[in-house]
Structure formats: structure tokens, C-alpha cells
């Protein structure tokens, strides 16, 4: 069973706080939680993409657009998290190294770009290629989580295990 998107901690809470405000500064644990929720949303997208593209009839343009919109939202959430990680790392230089490393991992792995790329190719590739890029996104999200919390439990999408 998938987690509800309503359980997601809004990252804007961390972004609107002044840089020195410790009560609203993003922690590694909070960032890990946000990343885990993003991973669950990616799992839900994987499932919905699989359902939309697995039937003998092609997905309707409306279905594809809804999936693209969700990919856009996922991209924006990752971008906000990257910014929040950078801000928090600058606010707490002594404790912010894992946060800075996680933000760097987002950039170095081209995670945001992979999400946008997969968004644009939903109706152009074969099913196996789409599954590979969707799994790549999940793996990159896990790599960012590993930068934050070394003992974080990996998310395993029910359909993919």
C-alpha cells in the first residue's frame, strides 16, 4: 500500500524561515523524511506509468498529461529540497556537512534532469526503457538519502520487488 501524499512535510516551511532560525532549519532527519516521501511518490508514479502504458490501447493524451504534471511537481519538490539543503548547510556550518553533501549529490546525479527527461519521454519509448529510467530515479533518490542518514531504510516499491 502506498503512503498518502498528504503525509508529506511541506518544504516551504523550511524555505521561508530566516537563515539563522533553528526551529525551522532543515535537519538531516527531516530531509531524509522528505526524500522518503518523494521516493514513495516516485513509486506511485512508477505504478501509474506501468498501468497507463501496459494496456493494449495506448494511454490517452489526458492520462499522459496527468503523468507529466506529476513529474513536474516531483521535479519542483526535488528542486525545493536541494535549495533547503543548501540553506540549512550554510546556516549550520558545523553540522551541515551531510546536508551540503546531499544537495551536491542531487546536482551531481542530475536527479532533477532525470525526472524532467522521463517526463518528456513517456509516450516515446518502449516500456522496458521507461522502467529503467524510473528505477534510476529511485536509485538516485536513495543515494541522496544515503548521504544524509547512513542507516536509512531504503524504499522498495511493492510492484518492483
Q: Assess if residue 37 is contained within a domain.
A: yes
Q: Assess if residue 5 is contained within a domain.
A: no
Q: Indicate the length of the chain as a whole number.
A: 161
Tell me the per-residue pLDDT of 112-148, one tens digit each, with 9 for 90 and over.
999 999 998 887 877 788 889 999 999 999 999 998 8
Q: Assess if residue 157 is contained within a domain.
A: no
Residue 9, pLDDT > 50, answer: no
Q: Assess if residue 12 is contained within a domain.
A: no
Q: Assess if residue 120 is contained within a domain.
A: yes
- Compute the chain's Rg from CA coordinates: 16
Over residues 26-47, the mean pLDDT reads 93
Structural domain of residue 99, as residue ranges?
27-149
pTM of the model: 0.81
Q: Assess if residue 14 is contained within a domain.
A: no
Q: Assess if residue 133 is contained within a domain.
A: yes
Over residues 9-35, the mean pLDDT reads 62
Residue with the bigger pLDDT between 92 and 76: it is: 76
All three cell numbers of 114: 532525470
Write phi, then psi, for 27 (nearest 5 degrees). Answer: -100, 165
Number of domains in the chain: 1
CATH number for 114: 1.20.120
Amino acid at each position: 500500500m502506498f503512503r498518502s501524499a498528504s503525509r508529506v512535510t511541506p518544504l516551504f516551511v523550511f524555505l521561508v524561515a530566516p537563515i539563522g532560525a533553528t526551529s525551522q532549519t532543515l535537519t538531516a532527519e527531516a530531509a531524509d523524511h522528505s526524500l522518503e516521501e518523494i521516493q514513495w511518490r516516485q513509486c506511485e508514479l512508477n505504478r501509474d506509468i506501468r498501468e497507463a502504458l501496459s494496456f493494449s490501447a495506448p494511454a490517452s493524451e489526458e492520462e499522459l498529461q496527468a503523468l507529466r504534471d506529476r513529474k513536474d511537481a516531483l521535479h519542483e519538490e526535488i528542486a525545493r529540497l536541494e535549495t533547503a539543503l543548501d540553506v540549512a548547510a550554510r546556516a549550520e556550518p558545523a553540522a551541515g556537512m551531510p546536508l551540503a553533501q546531499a544537495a551536491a549529490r542531487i546536482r551531481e546525479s542530475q536527479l532533477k534532469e532525470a525526472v524532467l527527461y522521463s517526463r518528456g519521454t513517456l509516450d516515446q519509448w518502449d516500456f522496458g526503457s521507461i522502467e529503467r529510467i524510473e528505477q534510476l530515479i529511485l536509485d538516485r533518490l536513495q543515494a541522496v538519502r544515503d548521504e544524509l542518514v547512513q542507516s536509512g531504510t531504503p524504499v522498495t516499491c511493492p510492484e518492483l520487488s
